[in-house]
Amino acid sequence: MKIGYARVSTADQSLDLQLDALRKNGCEEIFTEKMSGAKDNRPELANALKALRPGDTFVVYKLDRLARSTKKLLEVTEQLKEKQVEFISIKDNIDTNTATGRLMFGMLAVLAEFERDIIRERTLAGLEAARARGRNGGRPAADPKKVQQALTLYDSKKYTIKEITDATGIGRTTLYRALEKRKQQ
């Protein structure tokens, strides 16, 4: 079975071009979505992936309709591989049913892995350089006086957590962490 997925970024854009191409390609079921590709939580994409069974083919009009980043594209393609599902991107001429399509897809995967490795190396090098200059990273520690003030307000039982965090400027998590620490002492 061929299952298609079409997406546009905004509600006023039309899916017609993609839908026509997916139908022409023989898609029996098509999932559509009108939301940004940058969002990780795309319910219709999730439904399309759930509907796929081994031997099915997943079809998109273009790769950028499926994912905005190489990383996300790689994640989806790994899911397809695990499910033993073929993949077609109509406009990008990628069809994993063919040797050339599998080659192109493999090259995309290698490039994505390379991109992840480069980002990781740069991040580690940046952290190392910062540490060499005496910077450890992370968030700065909360002002102990403000934390104590927040605990005092909390103990008074006159204020809500929101009122306490607004008044002291410390975060909710910091307050809860201080309460937990005090309880353990």
Proportion of the chain in helix, strand, coil states, percent, rounded to 5: 55, 10, 30
- Pairwise pLDDT comparison (36 vs 44), residue with the higher score: 44
The mean pLDDT of the chain is: 89
- Pairwise pLDDT comparison (53 vs 36), residue with the higher score: 53
pLDDT at 100: 87
Token pair in block for residue 12: 């006023």
Catalytic residues: 9
Look at residue 135 and tell me whether its pLDDT is greater than 90.
no
Digit-coded pLDDT (tens) for 56-110: 999 999 988 888 777 788 788 888 888 999 999 999 888 988 898 888 877 876 7
Evaluate whether 31 touches 5 at the Cβ level (below 8 Å): yes
pTM score: 0.59
With tokens 């029996």, the residue in question is 28
Split at pLDDT 50, 70, 90, the class of 12 is confident
Record: fold of 2-112: Rossmann fold (3.40.50)
Per-position b or e across 107-146, b if 16+ CB within 10 A of its CB: ebbeebeeeeeeeeeeeeeeeeeeeeeeeeeeeeebeeee
With tokens 């005092």, the residue in question is 152
Digit-coded pLDDT (tens) for 45-60: 999 999 999 999 999 9
Split at pLDDT 50, 70, 90, the class of 112 is low
- Pairwise pLDDT comparison (20 vs 131), residue with the higher score: 20
